[in-house]
Structure 1
Amino acid sequence: MSAPDSRDQFPGSDQPVVSPRSRLAVVRAMNRRGIRMLHIADLVLVYALLFLVTLGMVPVRPGFNAVAHLPRYVWTYAVVALIHLVVFEIGGLYDRERRLVVQTSTSRLVMLVWIASLMVGLVSWLMGEFLIPRSVLIAYAVVGPAGLWLNRWISRRLRDRADGPARLLLVGAGPAVDRAEEHLATVNRVVTVGHAESVGVIEQLAVASDATGVLLLDGDALGMLYADSLSRLEARGVEVLQVVRPQDSLLGLRTVGEVGGMPVLPLSAHILTPSQSRLKRWSDLAVLAATAPVTIPLGLLTTAVVAVRAGRPLLFVQDRVGRNGASFPMLKFRTMRPDAEQPGGPIQALVDDPRIIRGLGWLRSARFDELPQLINVLRGEMTIVGPRPERPEEMADYERIIPGYRRRHQIEPGITGLAQVYGHYHTHPEFKLGHDLQYLANWSPLTDLQIMVRTGWVIITRRL
């Protein structure tokens, strides 16, 4: 007997309809490709709001003949809605929200709608004609954030209905657990599914109890979570919260929320969200394109200098550790003798290293030997700003002596980074790791721009 079709039929009808299970499979397939139902809801909302605002302007603007232009607006408003969707995607509106604390703020919605409206104006200026009447665009910029907020409110309610209440695993000593359970009992959207006194077992308990969140009731657990556990829990979709104690106010915390009346801080392994990763990649490609008129001639000139002074091979290819610990071949112009690391294997470069070919030391000081790494960036193996890539053999040593060192590989390694502009060549790896993790925690395109500018200044002033 053949397997049942994934489509059901209404009684008395030969028209197939998609079953709830099939609909869920379609939604999951869309999610795997980065498309959420919220994308579609926002696209429809913006498109509909533009027409509603246009028709609403007719009675208040004498001589505004919107009806005559409606056929044209059908396609121009579609372009406007797509521009908004791109801005919202880059702005992170479609990253998965936490269920308990951090939710999209109204000010963020307003800012993104205004940015999208400015982008529409820019595209209109480049095309030589307005895609949308300016008065409609201004009016939409006022009402648009309210519609987006409503979409997200509906999305959260549907998610809560589908997933049920948040299931919290409590971590702490007996009295602290009792107090927390007493407070959480007043919250309808949260249930407790167990408790543990030690952080060492929370991963197993979280899986066994199907927990959607972990609430830490004291501050001593952070050290054990820091290295790997938090990243693994986050990868499973488990939200981790820390109860904020009175003394924690000395840290100047700004993102404190509340659950059951308790002040809590959402913890994060600071892995870039999908939208941030895409934005960082697009930013890299934009910088490569913008600087190509300078970097390409400079690269060709450097190639000629290396060919004359060092001969073949022009490039030095070395395995380095990339994103998620995968190795890749990093490219550099060769400035040392071909036998610089034989027979003893890798040797750390020294100040005034005798292995450097005469006449090429200035290439290293000016960082011109790093120019081929722009090819690594173009291939997606590196990024312009990020933690510097380490050799695999050095990584093994660092991971053994510095807990959590592998966390710096949550993004592609960079040509320059925060540790390079604020540290020194001989700064201890643990301190460099602190810079790298702070970069991950506070990443933004502006941060990258600041580090690139600072890198240029360091090269000019220090020649390190």
Structure 2
Amino acid sequence: MKLFRQGWLKLAVLLLDVGGVYASYLLAYLLKFSGRIPADEWVSFLDYAPWLGLLTAVTYYFFNLYDFAGRRKPALLLYNLVLAHLLFVAELIAVNYWLKTFSLPRSVVATAFVAQVLVTFGLRLLLFYIQAKGSGRRKALVIVSGHSTDLLMLEKLRQTGAPWLEITRVITVPAVQADEAARLAGIDWQEAEVLMIGQGVPEGVRSEWIREAGERQMEVLLIPGFYELYLVKAEAQQIDDLLVYSIMPPHPTLPERLLKRGLDILCSSLLLIFTSPLLLAMLLLIPATSKGGALYVQERVGQLGKPFRLLKFRSMVDKAEQSTGPVLAGDRDHRITPLGRMLRATRIDELPQLFNVLAGQMSLVGPRPERAFFIEQFKEELPYYTYRLMVKPGLTGLAQVMAGYATTPADKLRYDLMYMKNYSLLLDLKILFQTLQVVLNREQARGVKQAAEDKKGQELAWAAAGEPSSQPPAAAE
């Protein structure tokens, strides 16, 4: 719904959030003092009241709580809200210790925390209800090719898209473009409210379906190709009477690079100081619980293809790839040690890379660095993959906060390209805050699924869509 993409709505919700935090703290004071707030407490509240509104707006923004355009589940909103409020309380306490000009009763903070979560979550539930009523669970006509990426898309729709989309029909188009007129004429368009098109559908076929849906004012959902992603924020120019797009390689400006480097040095230094007890503990625990050293050094490919030595805490058995060669970790990989599973789930194994950030080999935010072995493999299927190397690799990135460990390289590349085309310092800060959510979410830390599980999931997806189960194996690559 276009309503949820309007800036005025976000501003209105922000103002309601700020009003909600003031109402929550006033309620907490009234409950604590039985309806009669002492004068000194009232003066103290007025001293820190401006900070309540400022910290609420900034923290909510960085936790993506003003993005209402997507089809997001209330559970995810509640999860983000609780994390945002916990950070909000920590920020407020830090301001209290810094200024030392007001008192901050613990009971007031605790009561206001509960009230604030209830008020802000209630507001978002109302917005969710309005969005659900406006778009609802809509009937979807899905157009796919026989490509394996389209099979995986169907699987994801079946597993997570059910609250929003009811797949009423799946149409498989051939890999070779054909005349779509007869196929379009045979469609009962009353059965569909949304058209979703897989990324493997040929461009000419896709254009025909989009045109037909546009004439019927239907919503169209499609996974953008890398060509479309590269057009993001392209500059429109005119040569005589020709309209052309100017496409420049994604590269931050000099001021942006200087600011980004300053943020890297400041934040990585502070993080190393705060996590130093944990770093020392891991240096002792890892060798004590499994054979081998605590640190694992691996060559990765950095900016412009320059190799560097990446540091990690060892989470697998010693010399795990000696007999197998480079292999991506699986969900239940027997090579991962018991302690290593905890390290991976909490991302503690990545902490030594803060030294790589200080050395200038990495940035805090950017595409994750990969090994040359896998880059060569990905380049064969994804010609745009090398664009990731135009910026410094990151400790975290847009792909890490929006996707999961087991997300396909193609889908991660889309997020990486989107990040590079929309780079800003605010975006970096937003990703850093949302990384807290990822650290606490074990689902996003799962390893790559086993091939057999992928195949089974694809077959289930096709079965749910009413397609013969014999098609996926033939179409899979």
Smaller-chain TM-score range?
Answer: 0.3 to 0.5
Which structure is richer in relative contact order (CA contacts within 8 A, separation 6 or more)?
2
Q: Which has the larger radius of gyration?
A: 1
**TM-score computed with the length of structure 2 as normaliser:** 0.42
